[in-house]
Amino acid sequence: MHSLKNWRNSLRTGKRPGGKHPCRKASFPVQKNVQYILQQMTPDNKPIPMADMNHLTGLSGLSADSITGLLDTAAGFKQTLRSPNASFSPTLKNRRIALVFFENSTRTRFSFEIAARNLGAGTLGFSAASSSVSKGETLSDTIKNLEAMQVDAFVLRHPSSGSAKLISRITPKPVINAGDGSNEHPTQALLDMFTLREHFGSLKGLKVTIIGDVLHSRVARSNIYGLLRAGAEVGLCGPVTLIPPDAEKLGVRLFTDLDRAIAWADTAIVLRLQLERASGTYLPSLEEYSRHYGLTDERLERTGKHLLVLHPGPINREIEISNHVADRIQPPGYSKSMLLEQVTNGIAIRMAVLETLLGGTP
Ligand code: ASP
Ligand code: ASP
């Protein structure tokens, strides 16, 4: 009954195929992470004002003013970053920031490191493989031990959803979530919002479509919370199997047809297929995914839409985004890639977050 044909049809019709994928013997995998994020789908009702911000574990509870404040602070830093001999006042001199990464990262880790150094802070690198975690130490013991070494803040990346919030409850030091499982990646969403605001002038009323593997994406989740709070409209587009079942409750539009999503939107955030989080098992094949949801020149030409394109990286070239669309810095006609501009903006945003949480405290 759950034939491969039903799965293929689900890409076109938007109907959930139900049951397990016909090519898989094991039952359909529902990760703990995904269950957690489904429980977290409704943003908190009481947004946190900037003055009360001690940690940045996600955007779900942040007020519109706090978000605007962070973006404004980042805008000041970006201006200096653009100048030829950029130099910043060392407002975080003598501070030690632990970069606690239990998952791989290039952009986030380096840009936190650069951001901290720009403000005069020192960083301590940590990777799970070379630490006592490989001997069985728990996350909270690791954090408590680092705290005992007078670390001033933690930047945490961890595969478990909710880990940043958990840590923020056991340490008085600021905790910054650099990506927790499928839950949130707040600094990525802030840099996406910064990039959009810089380009369009305002986020109010902007139509943003997020394309692809929303189910597993912490970037999507943080962007949904942040963009809605900032007054933007959000559309989600992807195969039904990769859109969380309760997504509509968040006040977003749902699309299963990419052409329609593009026609509706002013800009697109393309997501990476999170193959390490089993997204491949939610699809008939990567080729079919790419045919239905890959952002290519042909598709943009067909819809006749000049679209600003963002992607958090790393990209799966020719799967969710074609080389042409990903690499087009100057728009010769229809799309404009912001991928590298996003990376630069990531430094300004992370400086703003560090300065907001640590600046002015002893
Ligand atoms: N996962 C991407 C990278 O490794 C971006 C990030 O770190 O958030 O660069
Ligand atoms: N770099 C982002 C993250 O760490 C997005 C991705 O990995 O696809 O969540």
Q: What structural domains and CATH numbers belong to the chain?
A: 4-39+187-343 (3.40.50.1370), 50-183+348-358 (3.40.50.1370)
Which residues, 6 or more positions from 5, have their beta carbon under 8 angstroms from its beta carbon?
none
Distance separating alpha carbons of residues 141 and 157, to the nearest angstrom: 16
Which tokens sit at 20? 């397990």
Judge if the beta carbon of residue 107 lies within 6 A of ligand 1: yes
Alpha helix segments (H runs only) across the chain: 4-13, 32-39, 64-82, 107-118, 139-148, 163-170, 186-200, 218-229, 258-264, 286-293, 297-303, 323-327, 339-358
Per residue, the 3-state secondary structure of 230-257, as one string, reads CCCEEEEECCHHHCCCCHHHHCCEEECC
Ligand 1 atom 1 nearest Cα: 105
Kindly state the DSSP code that residue 46 receives in the 8-state scheme.
Answer: S
Selected catalytic residue, list 55, 157, 221, 299: 157
**Residue 361: CA atoms inside 13 Å, Cβ hemisphere, count?**
14
Residues of the chain with pLDDT under 70: 1-14, 16-51, 130-131, 134-135, 278, 330-334, 360-362
pLDDT at residue number 17: 67
Using the atom order of ligand 1, give the atom closest to the CA of residue 314: 2
Which residues, 6 or more positions from 265, have their beta carbon under 8 angstroms from its beta carbon?
207, 208, 209, 235, 305, 307
Which tokens sit at 277? 């989080």
Ligand nearest to the CA of 155: 1
Active site residue 157: yes
pLDDT in tens, 297-339: 889 988 888 799 999 999 999 999 999 999 987 656 668 899 9
Distance separating alpha carbons of residues 102 and 160, to the nearest angstrom: 10
pLDDT in tens, 243-290: 988 888 889 999 999 999 999 999 999 999 887 776 777 888 888 999
Burial class (CB in 10 A: 0-12, 13-18, 19+), 300: buried
Give the three-state DSSP class for 116.
helix
Active site residue 142: no
Question: Cβ(3)–Cβ(19) under 8 Å?
Answer: no
List ligand 2's pocket residues with C-beta within 6 A.
179, 185, 188, 218-219, 272, 274, 312-313
Kindly state the DSSP code that residue 149 receives in the 8-state scheme.
Answer: T
* Residue in 106, 112, 192 to alter for ligand 1 test, most ligand atoms within 8 A of Cβ: 106
Active site residue 8: no
pLDDT at residue number 257: 96
Q: What radius of gyration, in Å, describes the C-alpha atoms of the chain?
A: 20
